[in-house]
Amino acid sequence: MAEQNGNQNGDGPTPPPICKRCNTNPSVINLRSEHMCGTCFDKYTRSKCIKRTETYRVRYNPPDTDTTPRRLLLPLSFGISSITLLHLLNAQLQTQLERTSRTGFVLLVMYVDESAIDPSVPTGDTSIRAVQARFPDVGEYMVAKLEGIYEFSHAVKSFEMGAAATPQQHTDWEGRLKELIAALPTPSSRMDVLQILRTRLMVELARKHACEAVLWGDTTTRLAEKTLAETAKGRGFSIPWQTADGESPFGVKFLYPLRDLLKKEVAVYVSLDLPTPLRPLCFAVPQEGEGEEGEGGRKKYAAVGKGITIDELMTQYFEGIEGQYPSIVANVVRTAGKLVTEGGVVRIGRCKICGLPRDGGGGELVLDAETKLGESSNREANGNGHGEKKEGSDMCYGCARSVHGAKTYEWPL
Amino acid sequence: MSPPLHIPASKLCESCRATRALISRPKTNQKLCKTCFLSTFEAEVHATIVSTTLFTRGSRVAIGASGGKDSTVLASVLKTLNERYDYGVEFVLLSIDEGIKGYRDDSLETVKRNAVQYGMELVIVSYEELYGWSMDSVVESIGKKGNCTYCGVFRRQALDRGAERLGINHVVTGHNADDIAETVLMNLLRGDLPRLHRCTSIITSSTSSPIARSKPLKYAYEKEIVLYALHKKLDYFSTECIYSPEAFRGSARTLIKALEKVRPSAILDIVRSGEAFSRMIPSQAQASSAKLSQESGMSNCTRCGYLTSQELCKACTLLDCLNKNRPKMAVEVEAGIEDEEASSSLRRGMEAMKLAEEGIVN
Ligand SMILES: [Zn+2]
Ligand SMILES: [Zn+2]
Ligand SMILES: [Zn+2]
Ligand SMILES: [Zn+2]
């Protein structure tokens, strides 16, 4: 956090410059070349979030017919972003209560316990209690287990790669999840599929608990990372569905209220005295460490096995870009925001894995160059006796890539 | 077919199962023998050409030949495929002499040998004859900084003029999958929707140029192009342009290479995403503002006759600067450059962003 004091000239001992907004307090951050004090930066941050959640102001009757507060799901990872988002929404609720004695929304704060795939991860009970103690009035708090995704297998659609082996019919969800993750070929695939499982679990939980929207904690930086990472995974077609505010193809709204804040700004924000810093609540980030982690420790959990993943690579890339060229980060997100999905949601079938409307299908261009380009007939020769040629036909291109070469597995949804 | 006993099954070519595998394909990690690698590479280029009906029988097509690995491999593969599949196309080599001593003069010698090796006609168009300026003299006048802008504008027009001279309206270039993937990422980073819209098209015919450009190697990995040249023992020139040293390899290139290491298919996957993007850009955002102003219509440059949306074409504008020695103009012209040459335009892109970031230009 070299920029915490906003002192870009590196002249350490000189006092920090004065805030350009109030002209009174010392600056704590050089915000896109404007010095700001803690109070002004707090105001700035709050306004950015309010602007993006305007739909959830208090409703009146008339003109609104239904004035009950809307239920919103907030996935909490204990990273700096989701904790900041929770704090900002809490502040918004306080303001609504003070002004109208009513609120426009109520939160369901949800932590996903991933200890099934990484035993070193805390189950979240104590952490969530600490957060609840700080923000007791926002709504409900819950912990869901990642393997809970199996609760939502609509009908029984066990899905197998290759007909040779039948997966053992685990009754325990934890074992099935472990088996699924272990079947994936690379760290990139595992991280990718885990991210998909988290998203789909949140969607299912939002539906189950009658939430009309999921409020994701992604910052501008995180959205830019996601845009490039999904591009690199061949999922360019789905970027609007993964980064845009509004109706998602899952029938639940997605909102990214921190989309106008850079990750490095949020990193400064959690250390502000507001009056108490948020930082101690960010349990997924090493305390007092290099806590650059945006959506909470995700990469740590997901990097099972060795080797950097595509998502991690993008995180690193944008750490560099964010420091030198913050406007490029915003550029990427703005560009992604201008893309429109082809033919909308109803065009073709859904991808079995990510649940999004499929693009042309996995094998169309090059599932691997053997499939379409160049040689096409060395399947048998590859030793996998069971006909793989259908691989990917019910998936989008990106998911087909991610599970290409996976061992037999069972998909939960 | 049972494999020869002296080669363990694990060492056999995964395609023919008859010969020892020598090459691990960068694109797929497939282990292949030399013959199978070469034929797979060729078959993929052929598949690209056929699926996009890139060529028509009886046409003449110019290969933009620099003597470097990409265009040399392109010429060699096109010759092979033309004969093997009877495309009925007449390929001609078209080279630009930028006038860079110790670089272009040497690489042109390579192209001249290629012309003999492949039995293709060769036409060389020089900046000197077209513009009265060689790049050496441009650099002497304005210095090394920004000279790639001049070179890019000049090259595009020179290729067009060379093609015109040959009576050809289709130029193929050696852009490979890495170049295209890099362009996709750069256009995302720059937020350049018009370029994002067209950078993955196999063939681009632009209103600002009468000549169509295409990229038959758009799915070919740079690493495989090098392997192909190596195993085919192709005669190519491998020195980087002395005015655009290795440093220009921007961060997007580095990122592509890192991604390729993590997942070899990533380069193709980015191209795939880029192809999706081109269909996801609303039509009003597809044209650049420079192109919108062309609703008044493209006309001919009042000085040289080249197609332009302005009174003077970009080359003539730059020449004015050179002749008056006012190099500062270059920055203003930059914004409208239509040149698709990955390396130089991308580098300018990064330079422009850097300048914008530093508050030097808007
Ligand atoms: Zn202030
Ligand atoms: Zn999918
Ligand atoms: Zn072979
Ligand atoms: Zn002109």
Residue A92 is predicted with a pLDDT of: 94
State whether B251 and A228 contact (CB < 8 Å): no
ipTM: 0.85
Four-CA torsion A95, A99, A102, A108, nearest 10 degrees: -10
Alpha-carbon B100 to chain mean position? 19
The annotation status of B70 as a binding-site residue, yes or no, is yes
**For residue B137, how far is its CA from the centre of ligand 2 (angstroms)?**
54
Mutate one of B255, B273, B355 to test the A interface: name it (highest A CB count within 10 A): B273
State whether B185 and A240 contact (CB < 8 Å): no
Of B258, B275, B282, the CB nearest to A340: B282
Residues around the ion ligand 4 (C-beta < 5 A): B 301, 303-304, 306, 313, 316
pLDDT along chain B (362 residues), means of 10: 70 93 91 96 93 94 94 98 97 93 88 96 93 88 78 86 92 95 93 90 77 94 96 89 57 88 93 92 73 60 84 87 64 39 42 41 30
- Contact between B60 and B168 (Cβ < 8 Å): yes
Residue A236: list chain B partners with CB under 8 A: 270, 272-277, 280
Q: What are phi and psi of A96, to 5 degrees?
A: -60, -45
- Contact between B275 and B200 (Cβ < 8 Å): yes
Residue B278: list chain A partners with CB under 8 A: none
Report the phi/psi class of residue B67: left, alpha or beta, with left for phi > 0 and alpha for psi in -120 to 50: left
Query: What is the pTM (predicted TM-score) of this model?
Result: 0.86
A131 occurs within a structural domain: yes
State whether A335 and B276 contact (CB < 8 Å): no
Residue A46 is predicted with a pLDDT of: 95
The annotation status of B66 as a binding-site residue, yes or no, is yes
Residue B224: list chain A partners with CB under 8 A: none
State whether B15 and A188 contact (CB < 8 Å): no
The CATH number covering residue A136 comes to: 3.40.50.620
| Residues in a beta bridge with B93 | B63, B122
Q: Which ligand is nearest to the CA of B25?
A: 3
Please name which of B192, B358, B349, B335 lies closest in space to residue A326, comparing C-alpha atoms.
B358
State whether B280 and A240 contact (CB < 8 Å): yes
The annotation status of B64 as a binding-site residue, yes or no, is yes
Residue B20 is predicted with a pLDDT of: 94
B18 interfacial to chain A (CB closer than 8 Å): no
**For residue A42, how far is its CA from the centre of ligand 1 (angstroms)?**
9
Domain positions in chain B are: 34-281, 285-323
State how far the alpha carbon of B177 is from the alpha carbons of A337, B202, B203, in Å.
26, 11, 14
Residue B2: list chain A partners with CB under 8 A: none
Of B17, B44, B187, the CB nearest to A373: B44
Q: Which ligand is nearest to the CA of B11?
A: 3
Residue B12 is predicted with a pLDDT of: 94
Residue B264: list chain A partners with CB under 8 A: none
The annotation status of B75 as a binding-site residue, yes or no, is no
Q: What is the pLDDT of residues A73-117, one digit of tens each?
A: 999 999 999 999 999 999 999 999 999 888 999 999 999 999 999
**For residue A356, how far is its CA from the centre of ligand 2 (angstroms)?**
6
State whether A335 and B14 contact (CB < 8 Å): no
Distance (Å, rounded) from C-alpha A253 to C-alpha A244? 10
Residue B185: list chain A partners with CB under 8 A: 228, 231
For residue A335, give how far its alpha carbon lies from the nearest alpha carbon of chain B (Å). 5
Residue A357: list chain B partners with CB under 8 A: none
State how far the alpha carbon of B233 is from the alpha carbons of B68, B129, B229, in Å.
14, 34, 6
Pair of tokens at residue B158: 């020179």
Distance (Å, rounded) from C-alpha A364 to C-alpha A392? 9
Q: Which ligand is nearest to the CA of B317?
A: 4
- Sorted by sequence, the CB contacts under 8 Å of residue A130 that are 6+ apart come out as A281, A283
Please name which of B317, B298, B316, B318 lies closest in space to residue B308, comparing C-alpha atoms.
B298
Distance (Å, rounded) from C-alpha B44 to C-alpha B21? 19
**For residue B36, how far is its CA from the centre of ligand 3 (angstroms)?**
4
State how far the alpha carbon of B10 is from the alpha carbons of A51, A91, B6, B21, B28, in Å.
61, 64, 12, 9, 17
Distance (Å, rounded) from C-alpha A300 to C-alpha A286? 11
State whether A375 and B266 contact (CB < 8 Å): no
A157 occurs within a structural domain: yes
3-state secondary structure chain B: CCCCCCCCHHHECCCCCCCECCEECCCCCCEECHHHHHHHHHHHHHHHHHHCCCCCCCCEEEEECCCCHHHHHHHHHHHHHHHHCCCCCEEEEEEEECCCCCCHHHHHHHHHHHHHHHCCEEEEEEHHHHHCCCHHHHHHHHCCCCHHHHHHHHHHHHHHHHHHHHCCCEEECCCCHHHHHHHHHHHHHHCCHHHHHHCCCCEECCCCCCCEEECCCCCCCHHHHHHHHHHCCCCCCCCCCCCCCHHHCCHHHHHHHHHHHHCCCHHHHHHHHHHHHHCCCCHHHHCCHHHHHHHHCCEECCCCCCEECCCCCHHHHHHHHHHHCCCCHHHHHHCCCCCCCHHHHHHHHHHHHHHHHCCCCC
Compare all CA atoms of chain A with the CA of B49 and give the residue at the minimum distance.
A373
Per-residue pLDDT of chain A (413 residues; tens, 9 = 90+): 334 444 445 555 677 799 999 999 999 999 878 999 999 999 999 999 999 998 888 877 666 677 788 999 999 999 999 999 999 999 999 999 999 888 999 999 999 999 999 888 878 889 999 999 999 999 999 999 999 998 887 533 444 343 334 455 557 889 999 999 999 999 999 999 999 999 999 999 999 999 999 999 999 999 999 999 999 999 999 999 999 999 999 999 999 999 999 999 999 999 998 889 999 999 888 765 444 444 444 444 343 335 899 999 999 999 988 988 888 999 999 999 999 987 655 556 888 899 998 876 544 445 443 444 433 333 333 333 334 445 567 888 899 889 888 888 888 88
**For residue B159, how far is its CA from the centre of ligand 4 (angstroms)?**
14
Pair of tokens at residue A182: 């272990």
Distance (Å, rounded) from C-alpha B247 to C-alpha A339? 32
Question: Is the peptide bond between A240 and the residue preceding it cis, with omega within 30 degrees of 0?
Answer: no
B251 interfacial to chain A (CB closer than 8 Å): yes
3-state secondary structure chain A: CHHHHCCCCCCCCCCCCECCCCCCCECCEEECCEEECHHHHHHHHHHHHHHHCHHHCCCCCCCCCCCCCEEEEEEECCCHHHHHHHHHHHHHHHHHHHHHCCCCEEEEEEEEECCCCCCCCCCCHHHHHHHHHHCCCCEEEEEEEHHHHHHHCCCCCCCCCCCCCCCCCCCCHHHHHHHHHHHCCCHHHHHHHHHHHHHHHHHHHHHHCCCCEEECCCCHHHHHHHHHHHHHCCCHHHHHHHHCCEECCCCCEEECCCCCCCHHHHHHHCCCCCCCCCHHHCCCCCCCCCCCCCCCCHHHHHCCCCCCCHHHHHHHHHHHHHHHCHHHHHHHHHHHHHCCCCCCCCCCCECCCCCCECCCCCCCCCCCCCCCCCCCCCCHHHCCCCCCCCCCCCCCHHHHHHHCCCCCCCCCC
- Contact between A361 and A393 (Cβ < 8 Å): yes
Residue B207 is predicted with a pLDDT of: 66
- State the angle between helix axes of B177-190 and B251-262 in degrees (0 to 180), rounded to the nearest 10: 120
State whether B279 and A231 contact (CB < 8 Å): no
Q: Which ligand is nearest to the CA of B319?
A: 4
State whether A232 and B277 contact (CB < 8 Å): no
Cβ atoms within 10 Å of B151's Cβ, excluding its own: 24
Residues around the ion ligand 3 (C-beta < 5 A): B 13, 15-16, 19, 33, 36
Distance (Å, rounded) from C-alpha A342 to C-alpha A75? 29
State whether A365 and B265 contact (CB < 8 Å): no
Question: Is the peptide bond between A249 and the residue preceding it cis, with omega within 30 degrees of 0?
Answer: no
**For residue B333, how far is its CA from the centre of ligand 4 (angstroms)?**
13
Domains in chain A: how many in total? Answer: 1
Please name which of A268, A315, A273 lies closest in space to residue A296, comparing C-alpha atoms.
A315
**For residue A394, how far is its CA from the centre of ligand 2 (angstroms)?**
9
The annotation status of B287 as a binding-site residue, yes or no, is no
For residue A337, give how far its alpha carbon lies from the nearest alpha carbon of chain B (Å). 10
Handedness of CA A367, A373, A375, A376 (dihedral sign): positive
Residue B259: list chain A partners with CB under 8 A: 232, 310, 313
For residue B251, give how far its alpha carbon lies from the nearest alpha carbon of chain A (Å). 9
The annotation status of B174 as a binding-site residue, yes or no, is yes
For residue B86, give how far its alpha carbon lies from the nearest alpha carbon of chain A (Å). 18
Q: Which domain holds residue A130?
A: 50-58+67-162+171-284+308-345
- Contact between A80 and A267 (Cβ < 8 Å): yes
Surface-to-core class of residue B2, CB atoms within 10 Å of its CB (0-12 exposed, 13-18 middle, 19+ buried)? exposed
Of B43, B188, B277, the CB nearest to A228: B188
B50 interfacial to chain A (CB closer than 8 Å): no
Q: What are phi and psi of A41, to 5 degrees?
A: -65, -40
B228 interfacial to chain A (CB closer than 8 Å): no
- Quote the radius of gyration of chain B (alpha carbons, Å): 21
B361 interfacial to chain A (CB closer than 8 Å): no
- Sorted by sequence, the CB contacts under 8 Å of residue A14 that are 6+ apart come out as A7
Buried b (16+ CB within 10 A) or exposed e, A340-361: ebeeeeeeeebbbbbbbbbbeb
Cβ atoms within 10 Å of A164's Cβ, excluding its own: 10
State whether B274 and A397 contact (CB < 8 Å): no
Question: Is the peptide bond between A275 and the residue preceding it cis, with omega within 30 degrees of 0?
Answer: yes
State whether A233 and B185 contact (CB < 8 Å): no
Pair of tokens at residue B220: 């070919």
State whether A317 and B251 contact (CB < 8 Å): yes
Of A237, A310, A378, the CB nearest to B14: A378
Pick the CATH number of B34-281 from 3.40.50.620, 3.60.15.10, 3.30.70.141, 3.40.50.800: 3.40.50.620
Report the phi/psi class of residue B38: left, alpha or beta, with left for phi > 0 and alpha for psi in -120 to 50: alpha
